[in-house]
A and B are shown apart, each in its own frame.
Chain A
Amino acid sequence: MPPRLRLCTQCLHRLHNKRTSLPKYLSTASAITPAPPIHQTISSPPPLARFPPTQPPSHKPPEFRKSQLHRQYTSLLRSTPLLLLFQHNNLKATEWMSIRRELHSALQKTDETLSTDLAPGIKVQAIQAGIFESALLVTEYYHPSQQLNPTASTPHPTDPSIQSSATVANTTPNPADPTLTHSLSTHAHTLVAPHKKSHPLRTLLSGPLAILSFPTVSPQHMRAALSILSPKAPTFAAPTRRANPGYHDASVQAGLQKLLLLGARVEGRVFDTEGTRWVGGIEGGLDGLRGQLVQMLGSVGAGVTGALESVGRTLWVTVEGRRGMLEEEGRGKAGDGKEDS
C-alpha cells in the first residue's frame, strides 16, 4: 500500500537521514531504565526536615538573648578546662578596662617566658549566673552520645497503618522531638532537671559573677592571673610599683578591691579559694607535677627494692657470721687437739 501521507522524495530523504543521525544514547535511553534499589522498595528515605540542620528547634525561642547566652556558655564550658569564678561588686567600665589591660600584659609576659601563645585565649567576662548554671548542668550531666538516640523515623512505604498525612518525627519544628539532641533541646532540659540541686558550684552561682577562662590547664598562667586579680603574698605577690607602675593606677586598684575570688572549676572539679591557689602554686606547671610524680614513684621503687633486699642481706650476714663462728670454733678445737697431742 502506498503511504497515505504523500511526501516529496527530498523530504523523505531528509527525514530518513535525520532518524539515522539521532544520537545513540537517546535511542537506547528507554531500554535501560534502572530499577529502584531494593532498600528503596522496602523503606522510604526519611522525609526532609523542615528546618536547617544548623538551627534545630530549641526549648526556648532561639531569638531570645537567654537562648544565645546558653549556647555561648555551653560552648565555653566544653572548651575550657580551667575556670576561675569571681564576684564583681559594681565595677565601673574604666576599672574593667584597666584590669583587663593589666591582666593581658601579665599573661603576655608569662607567654614570652614559656614561649606559648595562650594570652589571647584567656578572658574575663561577666556572666548571667542563672543561665550559666543551666549551661553548666547541661555540659556536665547531658551526654547525647551515651543516651538512646532515636534517629529520624523511616516509615515503611506500604504500611497501611501509616497515613500519608501522618506527621513524622524530625519534620515539624517541635522542640519536644526526641530526635533533637542539642543542648538547647527539651530533651536535654528534662534530663538535666533532677541534678539541679546537687551541683557543687550551685551555691556560688548567684549574685554578680565574672569568670576567667583558660583554654588549657596552665598553672603558670593561672599564677600570673591570680597575682594580678587576687594577689596574696608570697606565692601570688602583686607586681611591685617599680616593676609594673600601671598596676598601681587608681582605677586598677579600685577595681581589684571590688573583685572577689570565690572558687574555680578545674577539669570538672570544683575548688575553693585555697584549692585554687594550690593549683596556681604548682611549681613548673604540669611538667613540674609530672616530674614530681616520676621522682616519687622512683623513690618508692628504690625503697621497695631496698626492703626486699634487706631480708636476704640480713640472712646472708647471719649465715656468714655463724660460719665465721664455726670456723673459729673448729680452728680452736684443732688447736686444742694439737696441744693435747
Chain B
Amino acid sequence: MITKHITEVTTRFNPFKKPSKTCRVFLAHLPANARTMMKINTTVLTRDSQEPSFLKLKFKDGKEMQLDTEKLKINDVVEEVDRHSRTLNRKADLEGN
C-alpha cells in the first residue's frame, strides 16, 4: 500500500464486531514511522455499541476519502487508497519532484 500521500487517518471501530477487522488490519498496514508522517486518530468503541465502523483518509492534495468498512474488505480498501495514491505519484513524477 502506498502511504506516503496520506496526511490523516481517522478510524472508529468496535473490536467485538467482525467488520472491525478491516480497520485494524489497515492500521497494521501503516509503516512503523507513520505517526511522524501523518495524524492518526483511533477510537475503540465499547462491546455493546451499535455504531458502524468507518475509516476516513485525507491526502496531500486535499482529497478526503470516507470508506465504509462495514462492506469493504482490507483488499478493497487498499485498492481504493492505491488508486488515488498512484495518480498522486504520477503527478509528482510529471512535476519532476
Contacts and interface: CB of A to CB of B under 8 A. Distances in A.
Interface of A: 87, 89-92, 200, 203-204, 206-208, 254, 257-258, 260-263, 271-275
Interface string B5-39: 00000000001111011001101101110110000
22 contacts: A89-B27, A89-B28, A90-B28, A90-B32, A90-B34, A92-B32, A200-B16, A203-B15, A203-B20, A204-B15, A206-B21, A207-B28, A254-B35, A257-B40, A258-B35, A260-B42, A261-B44, A262-B44, A263-B47, A271-B47, A272-B15, A273-B46
A91 B47 contact: no
A206 B24 contact: yes
Nearest to B20: A203
Contacts of A89: 27-28, 30, 34
Nearest to B30: A89
Nearest to A200: B16
Contacts of A271: 47
A207 B74 CA distance: 11
Contacts of A207: 21, 24-25, 28
Contacts, number: 56
A147 to B, nearest CB: 30
A91 B32 contact: yes
A208 B46 CA distance: 20
Given A92-B32, A254-B35, A261-B44, A272 B16 contact: yes
A261 B17 CA distance: 15
Contacts of B42: 260
Nearest to B15: A262
Q: 8 smallest A-B Cβ distances: which pairs?
A: A272-B47, A90-B32, A207-B24, A262-B15, A89-B28, A274-B46, A89-B27, A257-B35
A228 B25 CA distance: 24
Interface of B: 15-18, 20-21, 24-25, 27-28, 30-32, 34-35, 40, 42, 44, 46-47
A82 B16 CA distance: 19
B51 to A, nearest CB: 14
A263 B30 contact: no
Q: Which of B25, B31, B32 has the most CB of A within 10 A?
A: B32
Q: Looking at chain A's contact residues, is the secondary structure mostly helix, strand, loop, or mixed?
A: mixed
A272 B43 CA distance: 13
A92 B36 CA distance: 14
A98 B62 CA distance: 36
A204 B25 CA distance: 12
Contact of B17 (A92, A203, A262, A273): A203
A228 B35 CA distance: 19
A97 to B, nearest CB: 14
A87 B28 contact: yes
Contacts of B47: 263, 271-272, 274-275
B15 A263 contact: yes
Contacts of B16: 200, 203-204, 263, 272
B20 A87 contact: no
Nearest to A88: B28
Contacts of B46: 272-274
A206 B35 contact: no
Contacts of A262: 15, 44
A92 B24 CA distance: 18
B24 to A, nearest CB: 5
Given A203-B17, A263-B16, A90 B30 contact: yes
B25 to A, nearest CB: 5
Contacts of B18: 203
- Most A C-beta atoms less than 10 A away, residue of B27, B28, B42, B46: B28
Given A204-B16, A273-B46, A90 B35 contact: no
Contacts of B44: 260-262, 273
A127 B21 CA distance: 17
A309 B18 CA distance: 56
B26 to A, nearest CB: 10
